Amino acid sequence: MTVGVFGSAALLASLLACGENRAPDERPDTRIVVVTHGQSSDPFWSVVANGASDAADALEVRVEYQAPTSFDMVRMSQVIDAAIASRPAGLIVSVPDADALGGSIRAAVTAGIPTLSINSGAESWQRLGLLAHIGQTEYNAGTAAGRRLASAGARRVLCVNHEVGNVSLDLRCRGLGDALKQAGATMQVLGVSLADPDDAVQRIRGALRGETGID
Instruction: Lowest mean pLDDT of 115-119, 129-133, 208-212, name the range.
Output: 208-212
Whole-number pLDDT of residue 28: 56
The 10s digit of each residue's pLDDT in 71-85 is 999 999 999 999 999
Using 50, 70 and 90 to split pLDDT, how confident is the model at 63? very high
How far apart are alpha carbons 49 and 34 in whole angstroms? 9
HSE-CB for 191 with a 13 A CA cutoff: 5
**pLDDT at residue 43 above 60?**
yes
**pLDDT at residue 6 above 80?**
no
The 10s digit of each residue's pLDDT in 194-203 is 778 899 999 9
The 10s digit of each residue's pLDDT in 98-126 is 999 999 999 999 999 999 999 999 999 99
State the CB neighbour count (10 A cutoff) for residue 27.
15
Backbone angles phi, psi at 128, to 5 degrees: -85, -10
Mean per-residue pLDDT for 168-184? Answer: 95
Whole-number pLDDT of residue 165: 86
**pLDDT at residue 215 above 50?**
no
On whether the pTM is more than 0.95, the answer is no
The 10s digit of each residue's pLDDT in 7-25 is 544 555 555 555 444 454 5
The residues pairing with 34 across neighbouring beta strands, listed in sequence order, are 65, 92
How far apart are alpha carbons 190 and 197 in whole angstroms? 14
Angle between helices 73-85 and 98-110 (to 10 degrees): 0
How far apart are alpha carbons 36 and 101 in whole angstroms? 11
State the CB neighbour count (10 A cutoff) for residue 138.
24
Higher pLDDT, 12 or 213: 12
Torsion, Cα 48 106 173 45, to 10 degrees, reads 10
Using 50, 70 and 90 to split pLDDT, how confident is the model at 2? very low
Percentage, residues of the chain above pLDDT 90: 72
